[in-house]
Amino acid sequence: MDVSKIEKDQQEYHAAAPPTFSARLKRAFGLNRGPSKKEQEEEERRLAAVDHLAYVSALDPETALVAIGSSTQGLTSNEAAERLAKHGKNTLSAFKPVRWWTLLWNSIAHPFNILLLFLAISNLAIPPADFRPFTYLMLMLVFATITRFWQESSSNSAAEKLKSLVSSHCQLIRRPDSSVQGSSTPVNQLDVVPGDIVKLTAGVVFPGDCLIISGRDISVSQSALTGESAPVDKASGAITTSTPLFDRANIALMGTSVTSGIGLAVVIATGDSTYLSFVAKKLAERRPKTAFDKGVNSVSLLLIYMMLVMTPIVILIQGFRGTGDHPWIDALQFGLTVAVGLIPEMLPMILNANLAKGALSLIKRKTIVKQLSAIQNLGAMDVLCSDKTGTLTQDMIVLQESLTPAKTNSWTPLEWASINSHYQSGMQNLLDRAIVEGAQKHFKNPQEILERYTFIDEITFDFERRRMSVILMPKGVSDVHILSCKGAVEEIIACCTHYADNNGLPQPLTDEMKTKFLATVDELNSQGLRVLGVATRRFEKIRTQYLKTDEIDMTFEGYLAFCDPPKEDAAEAIRLLNSRHVQIKVLTGDNLKVSVKVCSDVGISVEHVITGQELELLNDADFAFEVERCTVLAKLSPNMKQRVVQALQKNDHVVGFLGDGINDALALKSADVGISVDSATEVAKEAATVILLEKSLLILERGVVKGRQTYGNTIKYIKMAASSNFGNVFSVVIASIWLPGFQPITPLMLLTNNMIYDISQAAIPWDRMDPSFLERPKRWASRDLLRFMCCIGPLSSIFDCVTFAIGLYYWRWTDPNNNSTVAMFQTSWFFESLLTQTLIIHAVRTEKIPFIQSTATVPVLIMTTALIAVGTAIPYTPLGPLLGMQVFPVLQYGFTACCMLAYFTLVLLVKTVYIKVFKNWL
């Protein structure tokens, strides 16, 4: 082992390591004072992990196993238990559940709480100190913190409970304590420890940083870490050259996956000792922003912009018109209170409650949500890209026919294919199972066929060749090997020079015969049958190892035709999804004619279809057009599926992708909502955000409905809160100009009003949505929210002005030096404002006439009624004087009732016009 080369490699790797984000930020602003102690420690840990990987990769497999304390027969049960106790569970800190104290701190450090704390302290800091508002504001802060902490804890627990239902297992070689012989054992990925031997086949996700100790034709996808979609070749053997970590052929990092090949690997590091742990945060950020993320961001920015515009206006008006010893300080306090009033503080709680409630509801419908925001994306989805097998079909592939090249019935192709499927070491798919079951059904003694041959070697499957081979030696013959190959007919025939006639004798394969054989495939495909080709090759010069390049000069033995009938409920599910305005596009690697037949049978339009080969020839503009137009896209590679999803997103669609295979992982990760099934490959389940416990479009349709209901209840709150708060602030601006030297409402009253109103909306997640709302996909739209605020918000200001006028000109509450009359004016507006805000909940929650055509659920009715009663009673309680309230004349209640009736009528009229003009309400 050349230690100097390893050291050189480490130095070059360290020099090439990208700077941390914080380092780049400091450099950009000229604040590069060196990394913090925490950053230094983290960097030292990362470099140590890299050093360890570089060291192990420079060892030959046998030496590496000794150094790690393992063997090709795996660890014993006791050894695994001891290492698990020493190294801990195989999980990353970045992905562990958030600790309760972190949730509590996040709840305390919320901007709303910071503003409350600032206002509370300012009441003590500005003489004369007033403990009453300080105490009250601190009580509000504690209430807000506890409420948010409880909700965040509940949502976090629900999300972790849902994630735990989808467990990931890997095949390890472990042995009993008393045995020297190891065997393949499924082990939960959390229990993998350094020294474990991983059995590598297509679809396996590496459970830790691993050293490949043996293998054949291994290709590994590193897209989860590098972003490069093309798989890289891996092999065993010491590497002492100066090679970057990702390019080391014998190293496979945690989170990467096998796309083809077979072999063994030993786990070097797990959990927080892996390289992945140091890029976990960046990995989490690497998933593209979904429609949900973009929508929440746009709405949040709009509300921030409104706050930044309105708050300075209020402060300036109050400051210039203010009275007292500290007019500008009073104005600043009031302005900050207004800023709090503009932001829907309960949005995180309402949003999380909606998502958590939706997730728990979906699990009863056999749907597990790994990422809560995916629920909203389900509802917003307007294009569903789905695979065909198992979704539209019964996923019960049955062998229909075994045919010679001349289309006569013969069991010879099945015989060769059954031997191939039996000896392949990679993951068996549905076709392999159908072949084995077909052999058991049609041959009296299938085992006798297998016993005729001795297994020599295997050429594993990959998605480029689309075939796989096993090499056999006939029993009793030591100088002949036979290659049995099965795969896509086009790829099989392309490697053949002969075909077997009806007597089994090889005949030269001419171009004319190739055309004829491919026409047979088209004929079978048009009947909805999937077709595999079978070929053989005889080797006179034998050897122990064979390569992909040996799949030449073969003899075409014939076809195997399979059927996979459509699901009985597929047509109904597609009809329901179409009625919900979700367009179905079938993305499959299967044959176009087979796909068209199946799609036609279940009611999917097949007027416009295309293949991956045709898409490859198009420029970006034509590609986007064809992807938009076509409903069946066949013969697609994994990269092409991802490109189709991304093109649809650029066409302004919210895209869902349903898939369960290795070749679906890239598209699953790129989609707004990646959907897989519990029986899918580990790669697919890792990439997905939604897991179906049953592969059915009917289950998915229920998820779409639940997603739209979740969105509807969330957008209700945002529109209610934003429009009413905007109306209140608009009224504050008018009152600040109009009123003779006093504030229209105290900061304490405004905060109390806001808090009561927010509490009244805590039941919104339990409200129902009108059936008409659930018919179409919905998206977050800041422009729509701005329009809604500007149209509905100022309506309450009209009646606020009426209340101001009554107070000023009827009751003569005009003397700014008379605390009693000022308090009655402020209390009357507090009461009227609270009623208008609470009433608008029922007006906004539906586009129909509230209480007549659509009534809120019982929890919403109880909550709004109770809090109106609380708001009415406050002036009569000891809390009233603490807030600076006065009991106003009974006649004022009559004036307020008239205002409420007029306000409610005006909102309904404006709503009718709004819906006619803008064609939507929520």
Q: Whose structure tokens read 């295979």?
A: 661
Report yes or no: 243 and 231 within 8 Å, Cβ to Cβ: no
Question: In whole angstroms, what is the distance from residue 467 CA to residue 488 CA?
Answer: 6
Mean pLDDT of the chain: 82
Local confidence band at 277 (pLDDT 50, 70, 90 cut-offs): confident
Does 3-95+166-286 carry CATH code 2.30.29.30? no
Helical H segments across 495-588, by residue range: 511-526, 570-579
Measure CA of the first residue to CA of the last residue in the chain; give whole Å. 69
Active site residues: 387
**In Å, how far are 329, 749, 800, 802 from 735, measured between CA atoms?**
19, 15, 9, 11
Indicate the CATH number for domain 299-342+707-918.
1.20.1110.10
Residue 284 DSSP one-character state = H
pLDDT at 155: 52
pLDDT at 127: 60
Cα 313 to its chain centre, rounded Å, is 41
Report yes or no: 391 and 695 within 8 Å, Cβ to Cβ: yes
Q: Which residues pair with 507 in a beta bridge?
A: 499
Task: Enter the pTM of the model.
Answer: 0.68
Check whether the bond before 740 is cis (ω within 30° of 0).
Answer: no
Class of domain 398-563: alpha beta
Instruction: Choose the most confident range, by mean pLDDT, from 18-32, 129-143, 794-808.
Output: 794-808
CB neighbours of 680 closer than 8 A, spacing ≥ 6?
659, 660, 661, 688, 691
Query: Which ranges in the chain are annotated with CATH 3.40.50.1000?
Result: 367-393+568-693
**Of 512, 518, 468, whose CA–CA distance to 493 is shortest?**
518
Q: Is the pLDDT score of 285 beyond 50?
A: no
More reliable by pLDDT, 199 or 684: 199
SS3 of 747-791: HHHHHHHHHHHHHHCCCHHHCCCCCCHHHCCCCCCHHHHHHHHHH
More reliable by pLDDT, 287 or 417: 417
Q: What is the pLDDT of residues 162-188, one digit of tens each?
A: 555 555 778 899 988 777 788 888 898
Question: In whole angstroms, what is the distance from residue 825 CA to residue 735 CA?
Answer: 11
In terms of phi and psi (left: phi > 0; alpha: psi -120 to 50; beta: otherwise), the region of 509 is: beta
**Of 692, 684, 707, 679, whose CA–CA distance to 376 is shortest?**
707
Beta strand pairing call for 183-188 and 197-200: unpaired
Query: Which ranges in the chain are annotated with CATH 3.40.1110.10?
Result: 398-563
Work out the percent of the chain whose per-residue pLDDT is above 90: 33
Report yes or no: 435 and 561 within 8 Å, Cβ to Cβ: no
Helix, strand or coil, per DSSP, at residue 371 = coil
Sequence-ordered strand ranges (E) for 501-641: 506-508, 530-539, 554-563, 583-587, 609-611, 632-634
Tokens encoding 20: 């941390």
Question: In whole angstroms, what is the distance from residue 617 CA to residue 632 CA?
Answer: 17
Cα 672 to its chain centre, rounded Å, is 7
Question: In whole angstroms, what is the distance from residue 747 CA to residue 129 CA?
Answer: 16
More reliable by pLDDT, 518 or 126: 518
Report yes or no: 872 and 832 within 8 Å, Cβ to Cβ: no
Query: Which ranges in the chain are annotated with CATH 1.20.1110.10?
Result: 299-342+707-918
pLDDT at 23: 46
Question: In whole angstroms, what is the distance from residue 78 CA to residue 557 CA?
Answer: 51
Average pLDDT on 12-23 reads: 42
- Identify the weakest region by mean pLDDT among 225-239, 821-835, 869-883: 225-239
Length of the chain: 922
CB neighbours of 719 closer than 8 A, spacing ≥ 6?
785, 788, 789, 792, 844, 922
Q: Which residues pair with 455 in a beta bridge?
A: 472
SS3 of 783-829: HHHHHHHHHHHHHHHHHHHHHHHHHHHHCCCCCCCCHHHHHHHHHHH
CB neighbours of 908 closer than 8 A, spacing ≥ 6?
843, 849
Query: Which ranges in the chain are annotated with CATH 2.70.150.10?
Result: 3-95+166-286
The count of C-alpha atoms lying within 13 angstroms of the C-alpha of 388, restricted to the half-sphere facing its C-beta, is 31
Local confidence band at 20 (pLDDT 50, 70, 90 cut-offs): very low
- Identify the weakest region by mean pLDDT among 281-285, 570-574, 822-826: 281-285
pLDDT at 292: 63
Q: Is the pLDDT score of 596 beyond 70?
A: yes
> What single-letter amino acid sits at 428?
Q
Report yes or no: 735 and 804 within 8 Å, Cβ to Cβ: yes
- Fold of the CATH domain 367-393+568-693: Rossmann fold (3.40.50)
Q: Which residues pair with 214 in a beta bridge?
A: 264
